[in-house]
Structure 1
Amino acid sequence: MQPRKQPPEQPAGGKPRPGFAPAPLRLPVPVYDNHTHFDFGDSSLGRRVGLKDALDAAEAVGVAGAVQVGCDLASSRYTVEAVEADPRVLGAVAIHPNDAPELAGATTADGVSLLDVALAEIDALAAHPRIRAIGETGLDYFRTGQEGVAGQKYSFRRHIEIAKKRSLALQIHDRDAHDDVVSVLREEGPPSCVVFHCFSGDGDLARICNENGWYMSFSGTLTFKNANNLREALAVADPALLLVETDAPFLTPHPHRGRPNASYMLPYTVQSMGQLLGRDLADMGQLLRSNTEAVYGSWAG
């Protein structure tokens, strides 16, 4: 997840708006976008993407549904609204690691940490039956300096606790923090399903994930020319632990890098994964669909 400064997607099948990419070819086996942000608005228009339009656009190219991911209280509340509004949506709720230090450093009039207040609401929101993950949470040493590490680690540990309490998957944001993320997971004891959202490691981290049964979710960054570390990781990753995502509206895959991303762009990354692994598109799609349902359960349930 990056700052909210991208415009929304165009519906598939229509005339492309200026600056938007055309829709890809339809996948032969429908898959799921396991991490996206439908609530991110168009900063130039000051409005939110229409949820139905976004999902219709995705479904038209073989993306059957998505996991809407919260990263603060506002987006986590929206996530609950989204899972109730459309059966093609499951949800994840959390406080993003970059927000955790500021919240940890502030208190209510009664002296209660604002981070603890926020985490209590995340726990309550996670009780909804269509919230299937806690995330995105984790550690980010790219945007937050040393002074924020303690707050991030405390928040991460609390999110792990909530995931285990609620028997939910854990979606991890890991940026420039691989060793510490792994250490915290081992110290706390991970929940039954751990997902490294927008996997950013190399073959070494992929092997650690293999050993622990942790899922690796690849995004459009896999298609970038300089992403040799991701291609190395994909090559050694256990196929049973592979997932795919957009992290929309960010990380648009090649050949449309630099334009707004959306769930309907997912087929580009699925195709790239299949080519790199020597799997045809149908086989790749079936694998990803099965893995995603193993983590989050059925969209119909």
Structure 2
Amino acid sequence: MPSKNHAEAPPPPEPLRIAVADSHTHLDMQSGTVEEALAAAAAVGVNTLVQVGCDLKGSRWAAETAAAYADVHAAVALHPNEAPRVVLGDPDGWSRQGAREAGGEAALDEQLAQIDALAALEQVKAVGETGLDFFRTGDEGRAAQERSFRAHVEIAKRHGKALVIHDRDAHEDVLRVLKEEGAPERTVFHCYSGDAQMAEICAREGYYMSFAGNVTFKNAQNLRDAVAVAPVELLLVETDAPFLTPSPWRGRPNAPYLIPVTVRAMAEVRGMPEEALCEAIAANTARAFGYRAP
């Protein structure tokens, strides 16, 4: 599995005394094998991983990997930036470079049908990451994103699976679509990017908030404020690896074994014992994704 970041991997942190789950990772984008990633994570108290697909290929890989490893669960979806690429061949999807090969709405429907089929599998615990991303996608691609998002909401509800939200520079519109469509019973804001006020809205709706390594960044006070006010029973932790490596290792490749760094930062913000937060996160993640905690 090739890594997008070839810098030296950070050293392993001190192990957690109570194990937790990494609620969102991309093993297919990391270096090394699945076995190596699981072993490194287990050695520091991370005993469960949610492997997340971003396109059809990645979603199939997630489902296959979850079927092969008891400690891995799958989430399947077309990433918000994938939808305009499929519909428009849109450079505002994943990249502002490249050829324009329009597929149209029929192509998106076909891919969504395949995501639907994957979502029915037992080892697939969630539909996502889906949502809206206005950071990369321009006005031309927003209709395709929203169409795809609404379809993923319907798929998650029909299969009784959790919904994993990708929300970048689109808070109001993500919340609007969830209200209009009716959010699934278990909805997770992956890599939570809002502030304390939005956290209060999510809390009222019962949405889980999953925090990544960027909660440790100096310029991320909004995230720490959100951690402080979010109900402990709605808190999750993730790596989004190989991205968002926590400080002091920012810029190096991320991996599930670095979860303890983020957990300890969250515990410090809340002023609560590390063990108590770990117990809550472990229970919350199992409840959110509908699996039996190890």
TM-score, normalised with respect to structure 1: 0.90
What CA RMSD, in Å, does the superposition of the two structures yield over aligned residues? 1.8
Equivalent in the alignment of 1:114: 107
CA–CA distance in 1 between the matches of 2:143 and 2:166? Answer: 16
Q: Which has the larger displacement, 187-196 or 33-42?
A: 33-42
Shift of 1:5: 2.2
Identify the residue that residue 58 of structure 1 maps to in structure 2: 41
In 1, the alpha carbon distance for the partners of 2:30 and 2:49 equals 17
- C-alpha separation in 2, matches of 1:254 and 1:109: 41
Query: Structure 1 or 2: larger helix share?
Result: 2
CA contact (8 A) 1:69 1:136 kept: yes
AA of the residue aligned to 2:282: R
Question: Is the alpha carbon distance of 1:179 and 1:112 closer, same or farther for their aligned partners in structure 2, counting shifts above 3 Å?
Answer: closer
Gap regions ≥5 residues in structure 2 = 90-100
* Cα separation, partners in 2 of 1:177 and 1:28, compared to 1, 3 Å: same
Pairs within 5 Å for 1:136-155:
136-155=129-148
- Structure 1 residues 283 and 75, CA gap change in structure 2 (3 angstroms): same
- Farther off after superposition, 243-252 or 18-27: 18-27
- Paired residues in the alignment total 281
Q: Distance in 2 between matches of 1:220 and 1:53?
A: 21
Contact 1:90/1:299 (CA < 8 Å) preserved in 2?
Answer: no
SS where residue 27 of structure 2 aligns? coil
Give per-residue Cα distances to partners, 1:42-96, cap 9 Å, x unaligned: 5xxxxxx300110100000000010000000010010011111110100100000
Residues 1:233 and 2:222 aligned together: no
Identity of aligned residues (%): 53
Give the secondary structure class of the aligned counterpart of 2:120: coil
What amino acid maps onto 2:52 in structure 1? V
CA contact (8 A) 2:19 2:47 kept: yes
Match of 1:38 among 13, 27, 39: 27
Query: In the TM superposition, what is the alpha-carbon distance from 1:296 to its structure 2 partner?
Result: 1.2
Which residue of 1 is the match for residue 94 of structure 2?
none
Partner of 2:4: 5
Q: What is the aligned counterpart of 2:174 among 174, 178, 181?
A: 181
Comparing 111-120 with 135-144, greater Cα deviation is found at 111-120
Q: Distance in 1 between matches of 2:197 and 2:281?
A: 22
Alignment of structure 1 residues 208-219 onto 2, 5 Å: 208-219=201-212
Out of 264, 284, 297, the position equivalent to 2:290 is 297
Secondary structure at the counterpart of residue 8 of structure 2: coil
- The alpha-carbon distance between structure 1 residues 210 and 112, as it changes in their structure 2 partners (threshold 3 A), is closer
State the Cα distance separating 1:235 from its structure 2 match: 1.2
Alpha-carbon separation, structure 2, partners of 1:65 and 1:96: 23
In structure 1, C-alpha distance between the alignment counterparts of 2:106 and 2:224, rounded to whole Å? 42
Residues 84-163 of structure 1: pairs in structure 2 closer than 5 A: 84-105=67-88, 113-163=106-156
Contact 1:223 1:272 in 2 (8 A): yes
Q: CA deviation at 1:111?
A: 7.7
Counterpart among 266, 275, 294 of residue 273 in structure 1? 266
Q: Can you give the 5+ residue segments of structure 1 that lack an aligned partner in the other structure?
A: 8-17, 43-48
- Following superposition, the deviation at residue 102 of structure 1 comes to 2.0
- Asked whether the equivalents of residues 36 and 247 of structure 1 are also in contact (C-alpha less than 8 Å), the reply is yes
Q: Could you say what secondary structure the match of 1:33 adopts?
A: strand
Alignment partner, residue 162 of structure 2: 169
Asked if the contact 1:63/1:266 (under 8 Å) is kept, the reply is yes
1:146 and 1:262 mapped to 2: Cα distance?
33
- Distance in structure 2 (CA, Å) of the matches to 1:173 and 1:206: 15
